A and B are shown apart, each in its own frame.
Chain A
Amino acid sequence: GNSVTQMEGPVTLSEEAFLTINCTYTATGYPSLFWYVQYPGEGLQLLLKATKADDKGSNKGFEATYRKETTSFHLEKGSVQVSDSAVYFCALIANAGGTSYGKLTFGQGTILTVHP
């Protein structure tokens, strides 16, 4: 079956530091890949997406590139802010119809804490 593996957390950084959160996946076919973010006390929000190999998703200074050869979708940000403190989830959805309908498969989440 499909699966997503994220780097072990939590991650603690100082403001303006560089962020990388690793994500690798296992899936048949060509899934679409996503990063979702969960801020304290809020619901999950879509941060960025990529639907095919070599696509780069970007939003709010965050970027991730769909690497089919390494089955990875690592999240990066050049300079984090305190307001980026949240839980980040890597996810995929298969594009094969049928059993993929509406089913996002999530990684275990990475807690990011940014200190001033």
Chain B
Amino acid sequence: KAGVTQTPRYLIKTRGQQVTLSCSPISGHRSVSWYQQTPGQGLQFLFEYFSETQRNKGNFPGRFSGRQFSNSRSEMNVSTLELGDSALYLCASSLAGMPGEQYFGPGTRLTVT
């Protein structure tokens, strides 16, 4: 069974731009969670989607948004990029009823200059 895939793997953007990251979950997984990983703040939860509905959201500004499609694929968008948004963005999928057993993708490394 294919794992969680994320595209692109690396991205360089300029302050003020916007970016869209994509995540394809494991087949059959309907829950997709997104995390931001930085050396200073560690792993922080962004949001979770299940059956195209956002069920939970972390403490991030409204510039961070996401969506989920009917095939469970998910995208996250960051608008008006700031230098502090440079991070590894991780997507994870899980089966319904097993929310803590998350399968992580390799991440998208975003660098904002």
Given A43-B90, A108-B42, A109-B42: A102 and B99 interface contact (C-beta under 8 Å): yes
Interface size on B, residues (CB 8 A): 26
Q: Main SS of the interface on chain B? A: strand
Stretch at the interface among B13-21, B75-83, B100-108: B100-108
* Interface bin, chain A: 20 to 34
**Residue of B whose beta carbon sits closest to that of A89:** B43
How far is it, in angstroms, between the C-alpha of A103 and the C-alpha of B58 when the chains are bound?
A: 8
Q: Which of A32, A42, A44, A101 contacts B48 (CB 8 A)?
A: A101
Q: Which residues of B does A touch, CB under 8 Å?
A: 4, 31-33, 35, 42-43, 45, 48-50, 55-56, 58, 90, 92, 94, 99-107
Task: List 6 tightest A-B contacts by C-beta distance, closest first.
Answer: A102-B48, A93-B100, A101-B55, A102-B33, A44-B104, A101-B56
